[in-house]
A and B are shown apart, each in its own frame.
Chain A
Amino acid sequence: MMKFWNKEKHEIKKAQTQLNDQEQASQVVADKYNQRPKKWIYNSAIALIVVAAVIYSFISSDISIRNVDFATQFYYLWRGFTHPNTDFLFDMSKGGVPYLTLETIAIAFSGTFLAAILAIPFGFLTAKNVVGKHWSKLGEVILIVIRTFPEIVLALVLIRVIGMGATTGALTIGIHSIGMLAKLYAEAIENMDQGPIEALDAVGANIWQKIRYGILPQVIPDFLSVALYRFDINVRSATILGMVSAGGLGAPLIFASQAWNWSQMSSVLIAIVIMVIAVDFISSKLRQKLV
Protein backbone atom coordinates (compact mmCIF):
# COMPACT_ATOMS: atom_id res chain seq x y z
CA MET A 1 0.00 0.00 0.00
CA MET A 2 2.73 2.38 1.05
CA LYS A 3 4.80 1.49 -1.92
CA PHE A 4 1.92 2.18 -4.24
CA TRP A 5 1.35 5.54 -2.55
CA ASN A 6 4.97 6.51 -3.05
CA LYS A 7 4.85 5.50 -6.66
CA GLU A 8 1.77 7.63 -7.25
CA LYS A 9 3.40 10.58 -5.52
CA HIS A 10 6.47 10.15 -7.70
CA GLU A 11 4.34 10.17 -10.80
CA ILE A 12 2.48 13.27 -9.70
CA LYS A 13 5.78 15.04 -9.08
CA LYS A 14 7.06 13.97 -12.48
CA ALA A 15 3.93 15.28 -14.13
CA GLN A 16 4.27 18.54 -12.21
CA THR A 17 7.86 19.09 -13.37
CA GLN A 18 6.77 18.35 -16.92
CA LEU A 19 4.03 20.92 -16.58
CA ASN A 20 6.56 23.41 -15.19
CA ASP A 21 8.86 22.77 -18.13
CA GLN A 22 5.99 23.35 -20.51
CA GLU A 23 5.05 26.55 -18.76
CA GLN A 24 8.63 27.72 -18.87
CA ALA A 25 8.83 26.84 -22.54
CA SER A 26 5.65 28.70 -23.36
CA GLN A 27 6.94 31.61 -21.27
CA VAL A 28 10.12 31.66 -23.39
CA VAL A 29 8.03 31.59 -26.55
CA ALA A 30 5.86 34.44 -25.29
CA ASP A 31 8.95 36.49 -24.35
CA LYS A 32 10.48 35.93 -27.75
CA TYR A 33 7.16 36.86 -29.38
CA ASN A 34 7.06 40.11 -27.40
CA GLN A 35 10.63 40.87 -28.49
CA ARG A 36 9.70 40.47 -32.18
CA PRO A 37 10.84 43.34 -34.43
CA LYS A 38 8.15 45.98 -34.22
CA LYS A 39 7.98 47.74 -37.56
CA TRP A 40 4.68 49.50 -37.01
CA ILE A 41 6.29 52.97 -37.08
CA TYR A 42 8.00 52.22 -40.38
CA ASN A 43 4.91 50.59 -41.87
CA SER A 44 2.53 53.33 -40.79
CA ALA A 45 4.92 55.99 -42.12
CA ILE A 46 4.88 54.31 -45.52
CA ALA A 47 1.10 53.94 -45.39
CA LEU A 48 0.80 57.65 -44.54
CA ILE A 49 3.04 58.61 -47.46
CA VAL A 50 0.97 56.48 -49.85
CA VAL A 51 -2.33 57.92 -48.57
CA ALA A 52 -0.94 61.45 -48.84
CA ALA A 53 0.18 60.73 -52.41
CA VAL A 54 -3.28 59.42 -53.31
CA ILE A 55 -5.03 62.47 -51.82
CA TYR A 56 -2.56 64.88 -53.43
CA SER A 57 -2.93 63.33 -56.86
CA PHE A 58 -6.72 63.28 -56.65
CA ILE A 59 -6.84 66.94 -55.60
CA SER A 60 -4.28 68.27 -58.05
CA SER A 61 -5.53 66.35 -61.10
CA ASP A 62 -8.00 68.00 -63.36
CA ILE A 63 -10.73 65.40 -63.05
CA SER A 64 -13.73 67.68 -63.22
CA ILE A 65 -16.25 66.80 -65.91
CA ARG A 66 -17.19 69.78 -68.01
CA ASN A 67 -20.34 70.07 -70.05
CA VAL A 68 -20.77 66.37 -70.58
CA ASP A 69 -24.33 65.24 -71.07
CA PHE A 70 -23.85 61.72 -69.81
CA ALA A 71 -27.31 60.44 -70.64
CA THR A 72 -27.04 61.38 -74.30
CA GLN A 73 -23.43 60.24 -74.59
CA PHE A 74 -24.18 56.84 -73.13
CA TYR A 75 -27.30 56.55 -75.23
CA TYR A 76 -25.20 57.13 -78.38
CA LEU A 77 -22.57 54.72 -77.07
CA TRP A 78 -25.18 52.03 -76.41
CA ARG A 79 -26.88 52.55 -79.75
CA GLY A 80 -23.57 52.46 -81.57
CA PHE A 81 -22.40 49.31 -79.86
CA THR A 82 -25.67 47.46 -80.41
CA HIS A 83 -25.76 48.51 -84.07
CA PRO A 84 -22.28 47.99 -85.51
CA ASN A 85 -21.71 49.20 -89.03
CA THR A 86 -22.15 45.88 -90.84
CA ASP A 87 -21.32 47.30 -94.29
CA PHE A 88 -17.90 48.27 -92.94
CA LEU A 89 -17.53 45.06 -90.92
CA PHE A 90 -18.01 42.77 -93.91
CA ASP A 91 -16.46 45.00 -96.56
CA MET A 92 -14.05 42.71 -98.38
CA SER A 93 -12.12 45.47 -100.15
CA LYS A 94 -8.82 46.90 -98.93
CA GLY A 95 -10.53 49.53 -96.78
CA GLY A 96 -12.78 47.06 -94.97
CA VAL A 97 -12.39 45.55 -91.52
CA PRO A 98 -11.42 41.97 -92.60
CA TYR A 99 -8.50 43.15 -94.71
CA LEU A 100 -7.32 45.59 -92.04
CA THR A 101 -7.47 42.84 -89.42
CA LEU A 102 -5.36 40.65 -91.68
CA GLU A 103 -2.97 43.55 -92.13
CA THR A 104 -2.71 44.06 -88.37
CA ILE A 105 -1.88 40.40 -87.81
CA ALA A 106 0.60 40.54 -90.68
CA ILE A 107 2.31 43.60 -89.15
CA ALA A 108 2.54 41.86 -85.78
CA PHE A 109 3.80 38.58 -87.23
CA SER A 110 6.40 39.97 -89.59
CA GLY A 111 7.61 42.38 -86.91
CA THR A 112 7.92 39.58 -84.37
CA PHE A 113 9.66 37.32 -86.90
CA LEU A 114 12.22 40.00 -87.72
CA ALA A 115 12.78 40.74 -84.03
CA ALA A 116 13.05 37.05 -83.13
CA ILE A 117 15.91 36.65 -85.61
CA LEU A 118 17.61 39.99 -84.96
CA ALA A 119 17.48 39.38 -81.20
CA ILE A 120 19.57 36.19 -81.39
CA PRO A 121 22.98 37.95 -81.74
CA PHE A 122 21.90 40.54 -79.14
CA GLY A 123 20.88 37.74 -76.79
CA PHE A 124 24.22 35.92 -77.15
CA LEU A 125 26.14 39.17 -76.71
CA THR A 126 24.22 39.93 -73.48
CA ALA A 127 24.49 36.48 -71.88
CA LYS A 128 26.99 36.47 -69.02
CA ASN A 129 28.32 32.98 -69.74
CA VAL A 130 29.14 33.90 -73.36
CA VAL A 131 30.80 37.32 -73.22
CA GLY A 132 31.61 37.81 -69.53
CA LYS A 133 30.27 40.24 -66.96
CA HIS A 134 31.48 43.59 -68.30
CA TRP A 135 30.34 43.19 -71.89
CA SER A 136 27.04 41.80 -70.68
CA LYS A 137 26.44 45.08 -68.77
CA LEU A 138 26.99 47.03 -71.99
CA GLY A 139 24.54 44.78 -73.84
CA GLU A 140 21.96 45.27 -71.09
CA VAL A 141 22.23 49.05 -71.35
CA ILE A 142 21.68 48.88 -75.13
CA LEU A 143 18.61 46.67 -74.63
CA ILE A 144 17.18 49.02 -71.98
CA VAL A 145 17.55 51.95 -74.39
CA ILE A 146 15.71 49.98 -77.10
CA ARG A 147 12.95 48.95 -74.68
CA THR A 148 12.27 52.34 -73.12
CA PHE A 149 11.67 54.16 -76.40
CA PRO A 150 7.84 54.10 -76.72
CA GLU A 151 6.57 52.28 -79.80
CA ILE A 152 4.40 55.15 -81.02
CA VAL A 153 7.29 57.59 -80.85
CA LEU A 154 9.52 55.16 -82.73
CA ALA A 155 6.78 54.84 -85.37
CA LEU A 156 6.53 58.63 -85.63
CA VAL A 157 10.28 58.88 -86.25
CA LEU A 158 10.27 55.99 -88.74
CA ILE A 159 7.32 57.43 -90.65
CA ARG A 160 9.51 60.38 -91.66
CA VAL A 161 12.08 57.97 -93.05
CA ILE A 162 10.10 55.07 -94.54
CA GLY A 163 6.80 56.82 -95.13
CA MET A 164 3.32 55.98 -93.93
CA GLY A 165 2.04 52.43 -94.21
CA ALA A 166 2.10 48.94 -92.82
CA THR A 167 5.81 48.47 -93.57
CA THR A 168 6.63 51.15 -91.03
CA GLY A 169 4.47 49.41 -88.45
CA ALA A 170 6.20 46.09 -89.01
CA LEU A 171 9.66 47.67 -88.76
CA THR A 172 8.68 49.57 -85.61
CA ILE A 173 7.53 46.39 -83.93
CA GLY A 174 10.62 44.60 -85.19
CA ILE A 175 12.98 47.15 -83.65
CA HIS A 176 11.06 47.64 -80.41
CA SER A 177 10.63 43.92 -79.68
CA ILE A 178 14.38 43.26 -79.85
CA GLY A 179 14.72 44.85 -76.42
CA MET A 180 12.53 42.38 -74.58
CA LEU A 181 13.25 39.33 -76.73
CA ALA A 182 17.03 39.64 -76.43
CA LYS A 183 16.79 40.03 -72.66
CA LEU A 184 14.71 36.86 -72.32
CA TYR A 185 16.95 35.03 -74.83
CA ALA A 186 19.97 35.96 -72.72
CA GLU A 187 18.25 34.56 -69.63
CA ALA A 188 17.53 31.31 -71.47
CA ILE A 189 21.17 31.07 -72.56
CA GLU A 190 22.38 31.76 -69.02
CA ASN A 191 20.16 29.00 -67.61
CA MET A 192 21.53 26.50 -70.12
CA ASP A 193 22.95 23.20 -68.92
CA GLN A 194 26.75 23.20 -69.45
CA GLY A 195 27.00 19.40 -69.39
CA PRO A 196 26.33 18.68 -73.08
CA ILE A 197 28.87 21.31 -74.15
CA GLU A 198 31.56 19.80 -71.92
CA ALA A 199 30.68 16.36 -73.27
CA LEU A 200 31.02 17.65 -76.85
CA ASP A 201 34.36 19.20 -75.86
CA ALA A 202 35.45 15.82 -74.55
CA VAL A 203 34.66 14.04 -77.83
CA GLY A 204 36.53 16.70 -79.78
CA ALA A 205 33.75 18.76 -81.37
CA ASN A 206 34.64 22.10 -82.98
CA ILE A 207 32.79 25.33 -82.10
CA TRP A 208 30.12 25.02 -84.83
CA GLN A 209 29.37 21.44 -83.84
CA LYS A 210 29.14 22.60 -80.21
CA ILE A 211 26.63 25.30 -81.17
CA ARG A 212 24.65 22.93 -83.42
CA TYR A 213 24.47 19.92 -81.07
CA GLY A 214 25.09 21.47 -77.62
CA ILE A 215 23.51 24.92 -77.52
CA LEU A 216 20.76 25.13 -80.14
CA PRO A 217 18.72 22.06 -79.07
CA GLN A 218 18.61 23.47 -75.54
CA VAL A 219 17.68 27.06 -76.30
CA ILE A 220 15.40 26.79 -79.35
CA PRO A 221 12.23 25.75 -77.45
CA ASP A 222 12.75 28.65 -75.02
CA PHE A 223 13.35 31.08 -77.88
CA LEU A 224 10.19 29.97 -79.70
CA SER A 225 8.05 30.23 -76.58
CA VAL A 226 9.37 33.74 -75.82
CA ALA A 227 8.76 34.85 -79.41
CA LEU A 228 5.19 33.52 -79.31
CA TYR A 229 4.58 35.42 -76.08
CA ARG A 230 5.89 38.59 -77.70
CA PHE A 231 3.61 37.96 -80.71
CA ASP A 232 0.62 38.16 -78.30
CA ILE A 233 1.78 41.56 -77.09
CA ASN A 234 2.59 42.77 -80.58
CA VAL A 235 -0.91 42.03 -81.91
CA ARG A 236 -2.20 44.55 -79.37
CA SER A 237 0.44 47.15 -80.17
CA ALA A 238 -0.12 46.72 -83.91
CA THR A 239 -3.70 47.93 -83.42
CA ILE A 240 -2.34 51.05 -81.71
CA LEU A 241 0.26 51.81 -84.39
CA GLY A 242 -2.51 52.51 -86.90
CA MET A 243 -3.36 55.62 -84.91
CA VAL A 244 -0.18 57.25 -86.18
CA SER A 245 -0.96 55.92 -89.70
CA ALA A 246 1.45 53.01 -89.55
CA GLY A 247 -1.09 50.54 -90.95
CA GLY A 248 -3.74 48.27 -89.46
CA LEU A 249 -6.97 48.72 -87.53
CA GLY A 250 -5.92 51.80 -85.55
CA ALA A 251 -6.52 54.31 -88.33
CA PRO A 252 -10.29 53.66 -88.86
CA LEU A 253 -10.68 53.50 -85.07
CA ILE A 254 -9.25 56.96 -84.50
CA PHE A 255 -11.08 58.46 -87.48
CA ALA A 256 -14.37 57.03 -86.19
CA SER A 257 -13.71 58.36 -82.69
CA GLN A 258 -12.89 61.83 -83.97
CA ALA A 259 -16.17 61.86 -85.90
CA TRP A 260 -18.12 60.32 -82.97
CA ASN A 261 -19.18 57.58 -85.34
CA TRP A 262 -19.95 54.99 -82.69
CA SER A 263 -21.32 52.30 -85.02
CA GLN A 264 -18.14 52.33 -87.13
CA MET A 265 -16.06 52.31 -83.95
CA SER A 266 -17.91 49.31 -82.57
CA SER A 267 -17.32 47.31 -85.74
CA VAL A 268 -13.57 47.95 -85.38
CA LEU A 269 -13.71 47.03 -81.68
CA ILE A 270 -15.49 43.76 -82.46
CA ALA A 271 -12.70 42.91 -84.89
CA ILE A 272 -10.03 43.76 -82.28
CA VAL A 273 -11.67 41.62 -79.59
CA ILE A 274 -12.09 38.59 -81.87
CA MET A 275 -8.57 38.93 -83.24
CA VAL A 276 -6.90 39.24 -79.83
CA ILE A 277 -8.86 36.35 -78.30
CA ALA A 278 -8.11 34.10 -81.29
CA VAL A 279 -4.39 34.93 -81.27
CA ASP A 280 -4.19 34.43 -77.48
CA PHE A 281 -5.88 31.04 -77.79
CA ILE A 282 -3.68 29.80 -80.63
CA SER A 283 -0.42 30.97 -79.10
CA SER A 284 -1.22 29.54 -75.67
CA LYS A 285 -2.00 26.17 -77.30
CA LEU A 286 1.27 26.29 -79.23
CA ARG A 287 3.25 27.25 -76.13
CA GLN A 288 1.76 24.32 -74.22
CA LYS A 289 3.01 22.04 -76.99
CA LEU A 290 6.50 23.54 -76.81
CA VAL A 291 7.01 23.16 -73.07
Chain B
Amino acid sequence: MLAAKTITLPSGKTVKQPFNKIIIPAVISIAVFIVCGWVVLQNKGTLKLYEIGTIFKQLFSPTDYPAMNIHHTWADYFGYLFSLEIREALGETLRMSFIGSIIGSVLCLPFAILCSQNIVKTKWIYVPMRFIINLVRTMPTMVMAVIAVSLIGMGALAGIIATSIFTFGIMTKMLYECIEALDMGPYEALQSCGANKTQAFFYSVFPQLLPTYLGYFIYNFEINVRTSIVLGYVGAGGLGVILQANMDSIYTRSRVGAILIMMFLLVLLMQAFTRYVRGKLQ
Protein backbone atom coordinates (compact mmCIF):
# COMPACT_ATOMS: atom_id res chain seq x y z
CA MET B 1 0.00 0.00 0.00
CA LEU B 2 2.81 2.34 0.90
CA ALA B 3 4.81 1.58 -2.25
CA ALA B 4 4.67 4.29 -4.90
CA LYS B 5 2.51 3.37 -7.88
CA THR B 6 3.92 3.93 -11.38
CA ILE B 7 1.54 4.87 -14.15
CA THR B 8 2.39 4.69 -17.85
CA LEU B 9 0.84 7.49 -19.87
CA PRO B 10 -0.36 6.98 -23.47
CA SER B 11 2.64 9.03 -24.63
CA GLY B 12 4.98 6.39 -23.20
CA LYS B 13 6.14 8.42 -20.20
CA THR B 14 6.03 6.83 -16.77
CA VAL B 15 4.88 8.90 -13.80
CA LYS B 16 5.28 7.93 -10.14
CA GLN B 17 2.22 8.60 -8.04
CA PRO B 18 3.36 10.65 -5.02
CA PHE B 19 3.04 9.12 -1.58
CA ASN B 20 -0.13 10.32 0.15
CA LYS B 21 1.20 12.12 3.22
CA ILE B 22 -2.16 12.26 5.00
CA ILE B 23 -1.87 8.55 5.84
CA ILE B 24 0.81 9.13 8.51
CA PRO B 25 -1.18 11.50 10.80
CA ALA B 26 -4.33 9.49 10.17
CA VAL B 27 -2.72 6.21 11.27
CA ILE B 28 -1.01 7.83 14.27
CA SER B 29 -4.15 9.57 15.50
CA ILE B 30 -6.29 6.45 15.10
CA ALA B 31 -3.69 4.45 17.06
CA VAL B 32 -3.59 7.07 19.82
CA PHE B 33 -7.39 7.15 19.84
CA ILE B 34 -7.55 3.38 20.34
CA VAL B 35 -5.11 3.59 23.28
CA CYS B 36 -6.96 6.57 24.79
CA GLY B 37 -10.33 4.95 24.27
CA TRP B 38 -9.07 1.83 26.05
CA VAL B 39 -7.85 3.95 29.00
CA VAL B 40 -11.15 5.83 29.14
CA LEU B 41 -13.23 2.65 29.00
CA GLN B 42 -11.37 1.29 32.05
CA ASN B 43 -13.38 3.75 34.16
CA LYS B 44 -17.00 3.59 33.09
CA GLY B 45 -20.22 3.72 35.03
CA THR B 46 -23.41 1.75 34.58
CA LEU B 47 -25.30 2.68 31.44
CA LYS B 48 -28.91 3.71 32.03
CA LEU B 49 -30.15 4.83 28.65
CA TYR B 50 -33.79 4.88 29.76
CA GLU B 51 -32.86 7.77 32.08
CA ILE B 52 -32.51 10.20 29.15
CA GLY B 53 -36.23 10.87 28.83
CA THR B 54 -36.72 10.95 32.60
CA ILE B 55 -34.01 13.51 33.26
CA PHE B 56 -35.20 15.86 30.53
CA LYS B 57 -38.76 15.57 31.83
CA GLN B 58 -37.55 16.29 35.38
CA LEU B 59 -35.52 19.28 34.21
CA PHE B 60 -37.93 21.03 31.88
CA SER B 61 -41.33 20.41 33.40
CA PRO B 62 -42.75 21.22 36.86
CA THR B 63 -42.17 18.66 39.62
CA ASP B 64 -45.08 16.36 40.28
CA TYR B 65 -44.72 13.73 43.03
CA PRO B 66 -48.12 12.62 44.31
CA ALA B 67 -46.44 10.31 46.81
CA MET B 68 -44.66 13.24 48.49
CA ASN B 69 -47.73 15.47 48.01
CA ILE B 70 -45.77 17.77 45.71
CA HIS B 71 -47.90 19.17 42.92
CA HIS B 72 -46.19 22.02 41.06
CA THR B 73 -47.79 23.73 38.08
CA TRP B 74 -46.33 25.54 35.13
CA ALA B 75 -47.08 28.79 36.97
CA ASP B 76 -44.68 27.66 39.73
CA TYR B 77 -42.08 26.76 37.11
CA PHE B 78 -42.21 30.15 35.40
CA GLY B 79 -42.52 31.86 38.78
CA TYR B 80 -39.21 30.32 39.81
CA LEU B 81 -37.70 31.26 36.44
CA PHE B 82 -38.07 34.97 37.29
CA SER B 83 -37.78 34.65 41.06
CA LEU B 84 -35.62 36.87 43.24
CA GLU B 85 -33.14 34.04 43.90
CA ILE B 86 -32.35 33.60 40.23
CA ARG B 87 -32.28 37.33 39.51
CA GLU B 88 -29.81 37.93 42.35
CA ALA B 89 -27.62 35.04 41.20
CA LEU B 90 -27.66 36.37 37.63
CA GLY B 91 -26.64 39.81 38.87
CA GLU B 92 -23.87 38.33 40.98
CA THR B 93 -22.54 36.35 38.03
CA LEU B 94 -22.50 39.45 35.83
CA ARG B 95 -20.87 41.66 38.49
CA MET B 96 -18.27 39.02 39.32
CA SER B 97 -17.17 38.62 35.73
CA PHE B 98 -17.26 42.37 35.13
CA ILE B 99 -15.05 43.21 38.13
CA GLY B 100 -12.76 40.30 37.28
CA SER B 101 -12.37 41.51 33.70
CA ILE B 102 -11.71 45.11 34.82
CA ILE B 103 -9.06 44.16 37.40
CA GLY B 104 -7.38 41.69 35.07
CA SER B 105 -7.28 44.02 32.09
CA VAL B 106 -5.89 46.93 34.13
CA LEU B 107 -3.23 44.76 35.77
CA CYS B 108 -2.14 43.35 32.43
CA LEU B 109 -1.01 46.71 30.97
CA PRO B 110 2.47 47.00 32.60
CA PHE B 111 3.11 43.28 32.20
CA ALA B 112 2.19 43.36 28.51
CA ILE B 113 4.72 46.15 27.95
CA LEU B 114 7.37 44.22 29.91
CA CYS B 115 6.71 41.15 27.76
CA SER B 116 6.94 42.82 24.37
CA GLN B 117 10.15 42.41 22.48
CA ASN B 118 10.09 45.70 20.54
CA ILE B 119 9.74 47.95 23.61
CA VAL B 120 11.81 46.12 26.21
CA LYS B 121 14.86 45.13 24.26
CA THR B 122 16.61 43.28 27.09
CA LYS B 123 16.26 39.56 26.63
CA TRP B 124 16.49 38.63 30.29
CA ILE B 125 13.46 40.76 31.13
CA TYR B 126 10.93 39.65 28.55
CA VAL B 127 11.81 35.95 28.49
CA PRO B 128 11.23 35.27 32.22
CA MET B 129 8.17 37.55 32.10
CA ARG B 130 6.67 35.48 29.32
CA PHE B 131 7.45 32.30 31.22
CA ILE B 132 5.55 33.60 34.26
CA ILE B 133 2.58 34.62 32.11
CA ASN B 134 2.52 31.19 30.46
CA LEU B 135 2.59 29.59 33.90
CA VAL B 136 -0.40 31.69 34.97
CA ARG B 137 -2.27 30.74 31.81
CA THR B 138 -1.94 26.98 32.37
CA MET B 139 -4.38 27.06 35.30
CA PRO B 140 -8.03 26.70 34.29
CA THR B 141 -10.33 29.27 35.93
CA MET B 142 -12.16 26.54 37.79
CA VAL B 143 -8.92 25.34 39.44
CA MET B 144 -8.13 28.93 40.41
CA ALA B 145 -11.59 29.18 41.96
CA VAL B 146 -11.03 25.98 43.93
CA ILE B 147 -7.78 27.35 45.36
CA ALA B 148 -9.36 30.74 46.12
CA VAL B 149 -12.37 29.17 47.82
CA SER B 150 -10.25 27.04 50.12
CA LEU B 151 -8.05 30.04 50.85
CA ILE B 152 -10.57 32.80 51.60
CA GLY B 153 -13.86 30.97 51.90
CA MET B 154 -16.94 30.77 49.72
CA GLY B 155 -18.44 33.80 48.08
CA ALA B 156 -18.16 36.17 45.15
CA LEU B 157 -14.65 37.30 46.12
CA ALA B 158 -13.19 33.90 45.26
CA GLY B 159 -14.84 34.08 41.86
CA ILE B 160 -13.55 37.62 41.31
CA ILE B 161 -10.00 36.53 42.12
CA ALA B 162 -10.24 33.53 39.80
CA THR B 163 -11.65 35.49 36.85
CA SER B 164 -9.21 38.37 37.29
CA ILE B 165 -6.19 36.04 37.31
CA PHE B 166 -7.51 34.27 34.21
CA THR B 167 -8.18 37.60 32.44
CA PHE B 168 -4.75 38.86 33.47
CA GLY B 169 -3.01 35.87 31.89
CA ILE B 170 -4.89 35.82 28.62
CA MET B 171 -5.02 39.62 28.19
CA THR B 172 -1.27 39.98 28.75
CA LYS B 173 -0.56 37.41 26.10
CA MET B 174 -2.96 38.90 23.55
CA LEU B 175 -1.80 42.44 24.24
CA TYR B 176 1.93 41.83 23.97
CA GLU B 177 1.40 40.01 20.70
CA CYS B 178 -0.57 43.04 19.54
CA ILE B 179 2.14 45.48 20.69
CA GLU B 180 4.77 43.47 18.83
CA ALA B 181 2.71 43.62 15.63
CA LEU B 182 2.29 47.42 15.92
CA ASP B 183 3.41 49.72 13.13
CA MET B 184 6.20 51.76 14.71
CA GLY B 185 6.43 54.07 11.65
CA PRO B 186 4.15 56.84 13.06
CA TYR B 187 6.09 56.74 16.33
CA GLU B 188 9.39 57.42 14.56
CA ALA B 189 7.74 60.02 12.30
CA LEU B 190 6.44 61.96 15.29
CA GLN B 191 9.83 61.81 16.97
CA SER B 192 11.49 63.14 13.83
CA CYS B 193 8.96 66.03 13.84
CA GLY B 194 10.19 66.97 17.31
CA ALA B 195 7.76 65.18 19.63
CA ASN B 196 9.20 63.73 22.77
CA LYS B 197 8.75 60.03 23.63
CA THR B 198 5.59 60.48 25.72
CA GLN B 199 3.90 62.64 23.08
CA ALA B 200 4.93 60.20 20.37
CA PHE B 201 3.52 57.29 22.39
CA PHE B 202 0.18 58.98 23.03
CA TYR B 203 -0.34 60.14 19.45
CA SER B 204 0.94 57.09 17.57
CA VAL B 205 0.99 53.89 19.63
CA PHE B 206 -1.99 54.61 21.86
CA PRO B 207 -4.57 55.23 19.09
CA GLN B 208 -3.46 52.04 17.35
CA LEU B 209 -3.70 50.02 20.53
CA LEU B 210 -6.94 51.36 22.04
CA PRO B 211 -9.55 49.71 19.75
CA THR B 212 -7.77 46.35 19.98
CA TYR B 213 -7.52 46.64 23.75
CA LEU B 214 -11.23 47.44 24.12
CA GLY B 215 -12.09 44.59 21.75
CA TYR B 216 -10.02 42.17 23.82
CA PHE B 217 -11.68 43.45 26.98
CA ILE B 218 -15.16 42.77 25.59
CA TYR B 219 -14.07 39.33 24.36
CA ASN B 220 -12.71 38.49 27.81
CA PHE B 221 -15.86 39.75 29.48
CA GLU B 222 -17.89 37.32 27.39
CA ILE B 223 -15.59 34.41 28.23
CA ASN B 224 -15.70 35.34 31.92
CA VAL B 225 -19.50 35.38 31.96
CA ARG B 226 -19.49 31.89 30.44
CA THR B 227 -17.00 30.56 32.96
CA SER B 228 -18.32 32.32 36.06
CA ILE B 229 -21.77 30.83 35.42
CA VAL B 230 -20.38 27.48 36.53
CA LEU B 231 -17.75 28.79 38.99
CA GLY B 232 -20.41 28.72 41.69
CA TYR B 233 -20.38 24.95 41.49
CA VAL B 234 -17.24 24.96 43.65
CA GLY B 235 -18.63 27.73 45.86
CA ALA B 236 -17.35 30.86 44.15
CA GLY B 237 -20.66 32.72 43.84
CA GLY B 238 -23.17 33.25 41.07
CA LEU B 239 -25.64 30.97 39.32
CA GLY B 240 -23.56 27.86 39.97
CA VAL B 241 -24.25 28.05 43.70
CA ILE B 242 -28.01 27.57 43.33
CA LEU B 243 -27.38 25.05 40.56
CA GLN B 244 -25.26 22.98 42.94
CA ALA B 245 -27.73 23.40 45.81
CA ASN B 246 -30.64 22.09 43.72
CA MET B 247 -28.77 19.37 41.83
CA ASP B 248 -28.78 16.60 44.40
CA SER B 249 -32.47 16.17 45.19
CA ILE B 250 -34.95 14.93 42.59
CA TYR B 251 -37.63 17.18 44.07
CA THR B 252 -35.77 20.34 43.06
CA ARG B 253 -34.65 19.16 39.65
CA SER B 254 -37.20 21.30 37.82
CA ARG B 255 -35.45 24.29 39.44
CA VAL B 256 -32.19 23.11 37.86
CA GLY B 257 -33.96 23.16 34.50
CA ALA B 258 -35.12 26.72 35.12
CA ILE B 259 -31.57 27.76 36.07
CA LEU B 260 -30.27 26.14 32.87
CA ILE B 261 -32.74 28.14 30.79
CA MET B 262 -31.60 31.38 32.44
CA MET B 263 -27.92 30.46 31.91
CA PHE B 264 -28.65 29.88 28.26
CA LEU B 265 -30.45 33.22 27.89
CA LEU B 266 -27.63 35.05 29.69
CA VAL B 267 -24.98 33.59 27.40
CA LEU B 268 -27.05 34.38 24.29
CA LEU B 269 -27.59 37.98 25.47
CA MET B 270 -23.88 38.37 26.17
CA GLN B 271 -23.09 37.09 22.68
CA ALA B 272 -25.46 39.60 21.09
CA PHE B 273 -24.06 42.40 23.28
CA THR B 274 -20.42 41.67 22.48
CA ARG B 275 -21.22 41.38 18.78
CA TYR B 276 -22.92 44.80 18.88
CA VAL B 277 -20.05 46.46 20.79
CA ARG B 278 -17.41 44.92 18.57
CA GLY B 279 -19.26 46.19 15.51
CA LYS B 280 -19.24 49.68 17.03
CA LEU B 281 -15.50 49.49 17.79
CA GLN B 282 -14.49 48.72 14.24
Contacts and interface: CB of A to CB of B under 8 A. Distances in A.
Interface string B93-107: 011101100100000
B127 to A, nearest CB: 15
Given A106-B35, A109-B36, A244 B55 contact: no
B33 A62 contact: no
B38 to A, nearest CB: 8
Contacts of A134: none
B264 A149 contact: yes
B152 A65 contact: yes
B147 interface: yes
Interface in B223-251: 226, 229-230, 233-234, 237, 243, 247
Interface string B252-265: 00000000100110
Given A65-B157, A153-B263, A277-B138, A163 B46 contact: yes
Interface of A: 53-54, 57-58, 60-68, 73-74, 77, 94, 102-103, 105-107, 109-110, 113, 144-145, 148-153, 156-157, 159-170, 220, 224, 236-237, 239-240, 243-244, 247, 250, 253-254, 257-258, 260, 265, 269, 272-273, 276-277, 280
Given A144-B268, A150-B229, 4 more contacts: A57-B98, A106-B40, A109-B32, A163-B47
B134 A107 contact: no
B29 interface: yes
Contacts of A243: 142, 146, 233-234
A165 B44 contact: yes
Contacts of B229: 150
A258 B147 CA distance: 10
B interface majority secondary structure: helix
Contact of A240 (B59, B94, B140): B140
A277 B39 CA distance: 22
Nearest to B149: A257
Nearest to B237: A62
Contacts of A160: 48, 51, 55
A112 B40 CA distance: 13
Given A257-B146, A260-B150, A247 B40 contact: yes
B49 A161 contact: yes
Contacts of A244: 233
B95 A103 contact: no
Looking at B32, B150, B155, B260, the one whose CB has the most chain A CB atoms below 10 A away is B150
A166 B152 contact: no
A153 B264 CA distance: 11
B48 A63 contact: no
A107 B48 CA distance: 21
Nearest to A261: B150
B184 interface: no
B18 to A, nearest CB: 12
Contacts of B41: 166-167
B129 interface: no
Contacts of B37: 106, 110, 170
Contacts of A276: 138
Contacts of B143: 239-240, 253, 269, 272
Contacts of A240: 140, 142-143
Nearest to B25: A224
Nearest to A77: B151
B160 interface: yes
Contact of A62 (B55, B157, B226, B230): B157
B156 interface: yes
Contact of A73 (B45, B138, B151): B151
A66 B229 CA distance: 24
A277 B234 contact: no
Contact of A253 (B55, B146, B153, B264): B146
Nearest to B53: A161
Contact of B135 (A54, A58, A273): A273
Contacts of A102: 39
A162 B47 contact: yes
B43 interface: yes
Contacts of B32: 109
A160 B243 CA distance: 16
